[in-house]
């Protein structure tokens, strides 16, 4: 990528330690790619799509250009004893996918949906699965695809 993409990282902070590890993976990947980023905290995974929508609506009206070139959603949902898990997982994924399709956004999905804390750590840990880094690289790749089809910058 010739000019540095600017990314919004939306972090669900419900599980603070996991959120920190996911963010560590994402920021390391973005730093390695030469991208710039801003971090925005939200209470949980359910709020991630709304934060992205708010950022999209905050477009710079003087230049008619979006403030962010891509987005990374980071969070964790651990199954509990109720159906709350199913709704949060489903709606956060649906919300981000709807935004990506409706607004042609480059989004990296880094919301862990797991059965227990051990699975969450295995996926968040930067020395193991590093889902934060994977989500950041996915957003960067989608920006490259937008450029390929001349949809970037926008």
Just list the catalytic residues.
84
SS3 for 73?
strand
Residue whose token pair is 């797991």: 114
The DSSP result for 77-125, as a single string, is EE--SSTHHHHHHHHHHHHHHHHHHHHT--EEEEEEEESSHHHHHHHH-
């Amino acid at each position: 990528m010739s000019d540095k993409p600017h990314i919004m990282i939306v972090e669900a902070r419900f599980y603070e330690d996991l959120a920190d590890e996911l963010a560590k993976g994402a920021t390391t990947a973005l730093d390695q790619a030469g991208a710039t980023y801003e971090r925005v905290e939200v209470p949980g995974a359910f709020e991630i799509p709304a934060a992205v929508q708010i950022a999209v609506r905050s477009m710079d009206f003087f230049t008619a250009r979006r403030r962010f070139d891509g987005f990374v959603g980071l969070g964790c949902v651990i199954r509990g004893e109720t159906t709350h898990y199913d709704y949060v997982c489903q709606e956060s994924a649906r919300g981000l996918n709807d935004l990506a399709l409706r607004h042609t956004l480059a989004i990296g999905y880094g919301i862990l949906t797991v059965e227990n804390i051990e699975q969450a750590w295995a996926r968040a840990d930067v020395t193991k699965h590093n889902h934060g880094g994977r989500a950041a690289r996915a957003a960067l790749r989608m920006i490259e695809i937008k450029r390929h089809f001349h949809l970037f910058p926008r």
